[in-house]
Structure 1
Amino acid sequence: MDNLTHSLVGAVLGQMGLKTKTGLAMPTLIIAANIPDIDAACAVYGQLSLSMRRGITHGPIALILLPILLWAAMIGFDRWQTRRGKRPENRLPIHKGWLLALAYVGCLSHPALDWLNNYGIRLLEPFSHRWFYGDSIFIIDLWIWIALGLSVWLSLRRERAKVAAWTRPAWVGFTAVCAYILFNGALTGVAERQVAASLDRAGHPDALVVASPPPLQFWRRDVFWRSGNRYGTESYSLGTYEDIAITGTPTGMDDPRVAPMVATSPVAKAFLFWSRMPVAKFDAGGRLILSDQRFGNPLSRGQFEVIVDPKLEPGP
């Protein structure tokens, strides 16, 4: 998910009452909710970073060590402010046990959210390079922004007004988002099963079926499928899908020109390591264009497309 969503999750956890457990609880929760994304620095490698993101910093070793490092940094910061006489008087004392627990709570919320969309996350890196996908929530979800942002704002407003039940809006927002996530997960499952049944009847019994929520329209799914060397896209809306004839388009991945060109291109290899539903095409100049069926929207296609020019690539 995007970093605003991760930050709002950290903030709502704090407003649910966790920030009363120790000093520096709120910044710890918000930073911890974002800290696995330190791998964003690999963006300097351009499209090579597709195979680097959501890997080692989202795996079990990092999820054990990162909260400890953050915990130590927060304790060091509190002591540094104390020595300089800059520590805020109204800050709660540091409770080391609670501070470490909140660092873990915030950090573990990150892969849980990232798993929900269809970009993918390697939850077991470095022990396994397998990608995991939830296919339930769009990577930037406006409805989650609104629910979490509103609940944090109302909770803070109540807290400043010294209302006794100031945590209630945060709990309501958190519960609503959890229900929204469960609903979307169930809808994805229904869409994939119905399209898979249509594919089975059309002679594609072992097709890979991936339902992806479009932006804003959480009640709809773009359902991508591929069987053998053919692929296609179906549209599903809550309760309105009709069984239709499904044919499909060649993926192009079985073209004998693809493998030799990929072998000479590190970027193409990285792309195929990440890609779940790759598609290969050749332009008039003989260049190989690799894309991913999940990200065929014109707004996102350029970020998820690799062009291999045989004239520019080194020989084997």
Structure 2
Amino acid sequence: MDSLTQIALGSAVSVAVMGRHTAVWKAALWGAVAGTLPDLDAFVDHGDAMLNMTRHRAESHALFFLTLAAPPLAWAAARLDRRAAPSMNRTPSGDSDPRSGGTWGRWTLALWLALITHPLLDAMTVYGTQLLQPFTDHPYGVGSVFIIDPAYTVPLIVGVIAALRQKNARGLRWNAAGLVLSTLYLVWGVVAQQHVERIARDSLRQNGIASQGLLVTPAPFNTVLWRLVAVTPTQYFEGHYSLLDARPTLRWTTHERGAALIAAHGSEPAVARMAAFTHGFYSLSETDGRLFVTDLRMGQEPAYTFRFNLGSAAARANGGHPPTLEGLRPDLGTALPWLWQRLLGHDTPPPWRVTQGDRAG
């Protein structure tokens, strides 16, 4: 997810665990730090653009390593907390004075949860998060929420702000409510995804498409409009379905995957890496003697975020052309209005789409 969401989630989780055992702003600040730390791997250069993509959300997002990082981070938080307020005072009601500081154990639980909820939330997106490093580099991705979704983020922000402003039990209840609402939204996303997947599989059967894999993931910023990609050995099919569509009809557009190129170059390290990372949702193409590999999961025909230029055959053979990112993005001036209209159930084709064939069912 985006950085703002991870900061809000880390803060909300930390505030919920620490409660009145420390000042709300301290819990929120340390939670924001823990929620940000895993994404610092984005500043690590692994040598080429494709490695930077596939090694993001790796060790820094592993549950094992984050569990090891929680106790020393909590020790620092608890130590600074005690230095700021060395005595354990009580309020007239008998509660711990929020200025008295939390214990190392409570800080450990708070920051451990703030750390591990980061990759667990990332795994709900389609990108791919290597949760179980160093035991496996399998990239997990449920794909039931878009990387930026205000419906998930806003309740967290509102809850944290309320807790910071009110600094009492009512503020903590607002924070807890934000966590509950955002979690329920994730559950909703999974339920909606399963519903759309059933409709998509029925449509594929009606059209006689024997797909090897089916991707069902939300369109940007919502969980009402869903993008669908089905792959066969030679082609891929793209479609959209809105929960507001009047009837469960899908219109599939047909595109070539580059089967001959996959047969010829599929064993090359860069291509094999992309095939594994995308779980087979990729295509190969060739332009002016240069080979391109495209991640079909993120973007929309013909504009994809992760499209890599692997260079010419000679350059690849000599190891002289590391993959370079040459992604394409649609014009937002036309993309956003279409997104809104299609979300509302209007069967309008994307204005930037290049269609090689259509199937409806």
Once the two structures are TM-superposed, the CA of residue 218 in structure 1 deviates from its matched residue by 2.3
Aligned to 1:114: 122
Would you say 1:174 and 2:179 are equivalent positions?
A: yes
Question: Are residues 1:304 and 2:306 paired?
Answer: yes
Secondary structure of the residue aligned to 2:170 is coil
Higher helix share: 1
One-letter code aligned to 1:280: L
- The C-alpha deviation readout for 1:280-308, integer Å capped at 9, x for no partner, is 1111x11111111112348973x411112
- Which residue identity lines up with residue 108 of structure 2 in the other structure? L
For structure 2, the 5+ residue unaligned runs are 87-96, 320-361
Residue 126 of structure 1 aligns to a residue whose secondary structure is: coil
Q: Deviations over 1:72-122 (max 9, x none)?
A: 333455577799xxxxx9743341111111121111211221011110112
**Residues 4-23 of structure 1: matches in 2 within 5 Å?**
4-16=4-16, 18-22=18-22
Structure 1 CA distance, aligned partners of 2:217 and 2:230? 11
Deviation of 1:152 after TM superposition, in Å, equals 2.0
In the alignment, what sits opposite 1:139? 147
Question: Structure 2: how far apart are the matches of 1:253 and 1:68?
Answer: 50
**Does the CA-based 8 Å contact 2:238-2:252 persist in structure 1?**
no
Q: Which amino acid in structure 2 is aligned with residue 61 of structure 1? A: F
TM-score (norm 1): 0.83
Structure 1 segment 167-316 matched on structure 2, within 5 A: 167-240=172-245, 241-243=247-249, 246=252, 248-255=254-261, 258-259=264-265, 263=268, 267-276=270-279, 277-283=281-287, 285-297=288-300, 301=304, 303-310=305-312, 311-315=314-318
Do the aligned partners of 1:278 and 1:291 also contact (CA within 8 Å) in 2? yes
1:220–1:235: 8 Å Cα contact kept in structure 2?
Answer: yes
Preserved contact between residue 85 and residue 100 of structure 2 (Cα < 8 Å) = no
Alpha carbons of structure 1 residues 39 and 78: separation in structure 2 relative to 1, 3 Å: same
3-state SS of 1:212 partner: strand
Contact persistence 1:15–1:156 (CA under 8 A):
no
> Structure 2 length as normaliser, TM-score?
0.74
The Cα offsets for residues 185-218 of structure 1, whole Å up to 9 and x where unpaired, read as: 1111111111112112322345411111112332
User: What does residue range 46-61 of structure 1 map to in structure 2 within 5 Å?
Assistant: 46-61=49-64
1:62 partner SS: helix
- Tell me how far apart the structure 2 counterparts of residues 272 and 81 of structure 1 sit (CA, whole Å): 52
Identity %: 22
Choose 47-56 or 11-20, whichever is displaced more: 11-20
In the alignment, which of 67, 70, 94 is matched to residue 70 of structure 2? 67
Write the distance in 2 (CA, Å) between the matches of 1:299 and 1:4.
29
More displaced stretch, 200-209 vs 217-226? 200-209
Paired residues in the alignment total 303
The question of whether the paired residues in 1 share the 8 Å contact of 2:81 and 2:101 is answered with no
Query: Matched residues in 2 for 1:298 and 1:76: separation?
Result: 53
* Alpha-carbon spacing, 1:39–1:273, altered in 2? closer, same or farther (3 Å): farther
Specify whether residues 122 and 14 from structure 1 end up closer, same or farther in structure 2 by C-alpha distance, changes over 3 A only.
Answer: closer
Higher mean C-alpha deviation, range 239-248 or range 107-116: 239-248
Q: Which amino acid aligns with 2:37?
A: I
Partner of 1:26: 28
Assess if the C-alpha contact under 8 Å between 1:22 and 1:98 holds in 2: no
Distance in 1 (CA, whole Å) between partners of 2:82 and 2:171 is 30
What residue number does 1:103 align with? 111
The Cα RMSD (Å) is 3.0
**Which structure 1 residue ranges, 5 or more long, are not aligned?**
84-88
